[in-house]
Amino acid sequence: MHVITDFDWNMKNSLLLVDDNEDNLASLKAGFMRSGYELLTALGGVEALAILRERDVDVIVTDLRMPDVDGMKLLESARERRTPPQVIVLTAYGTIESAVEAVQHGAFNYLTKPINLNELRLQAAKAMELQELKRENIALRREIDQKYGFEELTGQTREMMEMIERLRAIADTRATVLIEGESGTGKELVAKALHKNSSRAPKLFMPIHCAALSDTLIESELFGHEKGSFTGATGRRPGMFELADGGTVFLDEVGEIPLSTQVKLLRVLETREFLRVGGTESVRVDVRVLAATNRILSEEVDEGRFREDLFYRLSVVKVTIPPLRSRAADIPLLVEKLLREFSSEHRRESVILSKRTLNRLMQFPWPGNVRQLRNVIENLVLFSSGKEIEIEDLPPELLNQSNDSITVAVGQPLDQVERLIIEQTLISAKSNRTKAAELLGISRRTLLRKIKELGLEA
Ligand SMILES: Nc1ncnc2c1ncn2[C@@H]1O[C@H](COP(=O)(O)OP(=O)(O)OP(=O)(O)O)[C@@H](O)[C@H]1O
Ligand SMILES: [Mg+2]
C-alpha cells in the first residue's frame, strides 16, 4: 500500500467566499450552508488576503469588482501560493471581458450575475475535485523528492546516511547552514543538494568563492555598487546577493572573508538588507545563505581572524562531511559510479579493477577526498581504457605512501612541524601551489600567506 504522509485525507475541504456587499455575501453563504465544506467569508478583498496569509483554502468564490483589492488581484496572490487554491470569479453582465481575462490568468471558471446557486454549487464541487487531485499530486511529488532528492551524494555508510537524513530535515527551510569538511569531501555538492531540495530550486543557486575575490573587490561583488562609487565603477551594478534574490547564496571558504566585510555580512544575515557600495538606500532581498569552510572556523575565531558573532550566526545548523578515509566502505560504490560516469563522458570502454587494486584504494588515506578519487578514476578510464588494473598501474602517489611521509617528534614546536609539512607537500606537489593547498586542506590564499610567513618562497 502507498502511504502519503503529509496529506490528511480527513481534512475538510475549505471554501472562501468573498464579496464586498454584505447581502450578496450572506446569500452566498446560505447557498453553501449544507455543503459540508468548511466555510470562510470575507467582506472584500483586503479581508480575503488577510485570511490567505493565515491559512490555505481549497476554493475561493469571489466577486470580481471590489474596491481596493479586486478579484483579479486576489487571484494573482492566490496563484503565488505553494498550493494555489482554485478560484471562481463572479461577474456582472458588463464585465465579462475581465472575467475571461481572469480565466486566462488561471481562474477555474467564471459565472455571471445574477448567480444561479445550483450552477455555482456544481462549479465549486468540480473545483474541489480538481484541487484534491492537485494536492495529492503535490504530496506525492514531495514524498518522491524526499526519497530520491539526494541521490547525487553517493554513500551508504552509517555516517553518510545520517548526514543525508539531517540534510533532508533542513533542506526546505530558510536556516543558514555551515558545511564543514576537508577539501574535496563534497561541500559544494551538499550545498547544491540543499538548494535543489528546497522550494527555492527554480531560482538561482549562486556560489561565491570568497577566497578568489580580492579584499578590495569582495564588497562590490557581494553587494553591488553605485555609479561612481570607486574608480572604474562606470555604472550601477547589482551584487551577487541581489542577483540571487529568491534563491540561495553559497559562501564557499567563508573563513577567507576579510574582517571588514564580515560586519556587513552579519547585518545581511540578520536583516536581509544591505547597502550597495557607495549607496545610501537599503536593498532588501530574500536569500537563503549556505556557507562552507575547510578550516575549523572556531579556531579562526580564537585567533581573531573571524568574528565570533558571525560565526554563531552562520553555524545555526552545522553539517560536517566525514573525510573519505573514515568511510572507506563507500569507496567501491563511488568507484563504480565514477567508472560509469567517465566511460560514458569520454566514450571509452571502462576498466576493471582487480580485487587487490580495489583494496588498495580502500586503504589509501585520500587527502584530497572524493575529488582526488575522481581524478584517479578519470585518468584510469582515459589512459587504461579496457584494461584490467593492477596495483602497479595506479598513479605513483597511490603507490609509495612511505616516500611521502615525514617523522615528527612529540614536543617538537608546532611552527617547525608546520614548516616541515608544507615544505614536503610542496616538493611532492612539484611546487604546484594550488595542488599543495588542496592536499593540505587549506585555501591557496592561506598557503601563500604561510609560505611568506615561514620564508619558504625560494
Ligand atoms: N558523496 C559524493 N558522491 C559523489 N560525488 C561526490 C561526493 N562527494 C563529492 N563528490 C564529488 O567530488 C568533487 C568535489 O566535491 P566538491 O567540489 O563539492 O568538494 P568541496 O568540499 O567543495 O571541496 P573544496 O573544499 O576543495 O572546495 C565533485 O566533483 C563532487 O561531485
Ligand atoms: Mg568547494
What would the pLDDT profile of 8-42 be if each residue is shown by its tens digit? 444 689 999 999 999 999 999 999 999 889 999 99
Residue range(s) occupied by CATH 3.40.50.2300 in the chain: 14-144
Separation of alpha carbons 130 and 384, rounded Å: 57
188 touches 250 (CB < 8 A): yes
Separation of alpha carbons 179 and 322, rounded Å: 11
- With a 6 Å cutoff on the Cβ, whether 71 touches ligand 1 is no
Using the atom order of ligand 1, give the atom closest to the CA of residue 185. 21
Gap from CA of 370 to ligand 2 centroid (Å): 11
| CA dihedral sign of residues 168, 170, 173, 178 | negative
Gap from CA of 184 to ligand 2 centroid (Å): 7
Q: Which ligand does the CA of 320 lie closest to?
A: 1
Separation of alpha carbons 53 and 47, rounded Å: 10
Strands 282-284 and 273-275, bridge-based pairing: antiparallel
| Range 324-401 classified under CATH 1.10.8.60 | yes
Of 217, 223, 207, 204, which is closest to residue 273 (Cα–Cα)? 223
Gap from CA of 329 to ligand 2 centroid (Å): 23
- With a 6 Å cutoff on the Cβ, whether 184 touches ligand 1 is yes
For domain 406-453, the CATH class is: mainly alpha
- Minimal-distance CA residue to ligand 1 atom 13: 371
User: Regarding the domain delimited by 158-320, which CATH topology (the fold level of the hierarchy) does it fall under?
Assistant: Rossmann fold (3.40.50)
238 touches 192 (CB < 8 A): no
Q: In sequence order, what are the beta bridge partners of 178?
A: 291, 318
Average pLDDT over residues 235-243: 89
Q: How far is CA 139 from its chain centroid?
A: 21
| Range 14-144 classified under CATH 3.30.930.10 | no
Gap from CA of 164 to ligand 1 centroid (Å): 15
What pLDDT is stored for residue 455 in this prediction? Answer: 81
The three grid cell numbers given for residue 104, joined into one nine-digit string: 486566462
The three grid cell numbers given for residue 405, joined into one nine-digit string: 611521509
Residue range(s) occupied by CATH 1.10.10.60 in the chain: 406-453
Residue range(s) occupied by CATH 3.40.50.300 in the chain: 158-320
Predicted confidence (pLDDT) at residue 141 exceeds the cutoff of 70: no
Predicted confidence (pLDDT) at residue 1 exceeds the cutoff of 70: no
Return the top range by mean pLDDT from 245-254, 355-364, 429-438, 447-456: 245-254
Q: Which ligand does the CA of 338 lie closest to?
A: 1
Of 112, 118, 108, 113, which is closest to residue 87 (Cα–Cα)? 108
Q: 145 falls in which pLDDT band (50, 70, 90)?
A: low
Q: What is the pLDDT of residues 328-371, one digit of tens each?
A: 999 999 999 999 999 999 999 999 999 999 989 998 999 899 99
Q: What is the pLDDT of residues 82-124, one digit of tens each?
A: 788 999 999 987 778 888 888 888 899 999 988 999 999 999 9
| φ and ψ of 109, to 5 deg | -170, 170
240 touches 232 (CB < 8 A): no
Using the atom order of ligand 1, give the atom closest to the CA of residue 252. 27
Gap from CA of 266 to ligand 1 centroid (Å): 27
Residue range(s) occupied by CATH 1.10.8.60 in the chain: 324-401
- With a 6 Å cutoff on the Cβ, whether 155 touches ligand 1 is yes
Average pLDDT over residues 224-231: 84
- With a 6 Å cutoff on the Cβ, whether 245 touches ligand 1 is no
- Minimal-distance CA residue to ligand 1 atom 24: 183
Count of CB atoms within 10 A of residue 338's CB?
Answer: 20
52 touches 77 (CB < 8 A): yes
Using the atom order of ligand 1, give the atom closest to the CA of residue 330. 1
- Minimal-distance CA residue to ligand 1 atom 23: 184
